[in-house]
Amino acid sequence: MPELSLQQALNLALQHACEDDDRVLVFGQDVGTLGGVFRVTDGLKAKFGDRVFDTPLAESAIMGTAVGLAMHGWRPVPEIQFDGFSYPALDQIVNQVARMHYRSRGVLNMPITLRLPSFGGIRAPEHHGESLEALFAHVPGLKVVSPSTPSEGYHLLRQAIADPDPVIFMEPKPRYWQREFFDPSEPVPPVPPGTSRVVRAGKHATLVAWGAMVARCLQVAELAAEDGVELEVVDLRWLKPIDVDGLAASVAKTRRAVVVHEAPLTAGLGAEVSALVTERCFGDLRAPVQRVTGFDVPYPSGALEDEYLPSADRILTAVQTTLEYRRG
């Protein structure tokens, strides 16, 4: 069983997708000859020739090209080099990619998988550490997913490329070098979109996270266990559609919930998760849902990154708050 990094697992998923379906095309700035900034597409051009190609630095053109290709029966897998670079492409993503199937009354499909290196944690300059999941999840017609481990990255990317609907695939940049033993050739039962997973069982409170924050929450669970507190960690995985039943099952058991994400607090996806949990589990909750997030400021420079991202101490404080809460 090989040990693969997330970067290697995503590369293998793209390779296998290209092998299995001649309609799959991989393109974006520097994805061909260079193999991508994070080398996720390394070696693919040598194997698949013109099906893997470089584009100009023009994000709106990248997504406009994807729309045209999808309309003609291809399965485009474009990459926008960093999350913060996707803003110029929002017109195409929101008004074309997300709406074309609806606008054409089902005649045209948009089987586009936008690969988007996302989130912070690599001390990069401005526009290289955004968290745009709430923006994309708000748009009808888009699916949004973020893996947290190499095996999840492989299987979720294969699933996203095979999906007939457009998928925003948000790759947690600081986890590209995380390694895991798993066998990509081993059959895995298909997981429907909108399915979360419990990565650590517990009974005192539920931590809900996605992307790189799953590993942070597992670290917090280990620290809490030293004091006898058993935290359940849920990897949301699909940020749209959200696994409401899975969330409700976990929170009904623990009766407390803390949502953790890197994006700013106001109107972040944690607000949607909190509302869903409250609607489904109001009678079970023993405390209000807590949120631990980034701050309502632009993403800071690398020197201040650790102050911005949810830390173990901040998450533990939220856990303590929810455990100590008493109804009046």
Please write the tens of the pLDDT for every residue from 283-304: 999 999 999 999 999 999 888 9
Look-up of token digits 């997030």: 293
pLDDT one-digit tens code per residue, 68-90:
999 999 999 999 999 999 999 99
The average pLDDT across 232-261 equals 97
The average pLDDT across 154-173 equals 97
The whole-angstrom separation of Cα 167 and Cα 141 is 9
Closest Cα partner for 288 from 235, 236, 228, 328? Answer: 328
Packed helices 244-254 and 269-281: angle between N→C axes, nearest 10 degrees: 60
**What pLDDT, on a 0 to 100 scale, did the predictor assign at position 258?**
98
Are 171 and 11 spatial neighbours (Cβ–Cβ below 8 Å)? no
**Is 204 an active-site residue?**
no
With a cut of 70, say whether residue 106 has pLDDT above it.
yes
The model's confidence at residue 188, banded by pLDDT at 50, 70 and 90, is confident
Q: According to the CATH classification, is domain 3-181 in 3.60.15.10?
A: no
In order, the DSSP letters of 51-77 are GEEE--S-HHHHHHHHHHHHHTT-EEE
Share of the chain above pLDDT 90, in %: 93
Q: Residues of CATH 3.40.50.920 domain(s) within the chain?
A: 197-324
The average pLDDT across 263-282 equals 97
Residue type, 109: N
The model's confidence at residue 28, banded by pLDDT at 50, 70 and 90, is very high
Beta bridge partners of 75: 24
**What pLDDT, on a 0 to 100 scale, did the predictor assign at position 218?**
98
**What pLDDT, on a 0 to 100 scale, did the predictor assign at position 328?**
58
Global pTM reads 0.96
**What pLDDT, on a 0 to 100 scale, did the predictor assign at position 301?**
86
With a cut of 70, say whether residue 57 has pLDDT above it.
yes
Domain 197-324 fold is: Rossmann fold (3.40.50)
The average pLDDT across 241-257 equals 97
The average pLDDT across 137-141 equals 97
Catalytic-labelled residue, pool 128, 138, 155, 261: 128
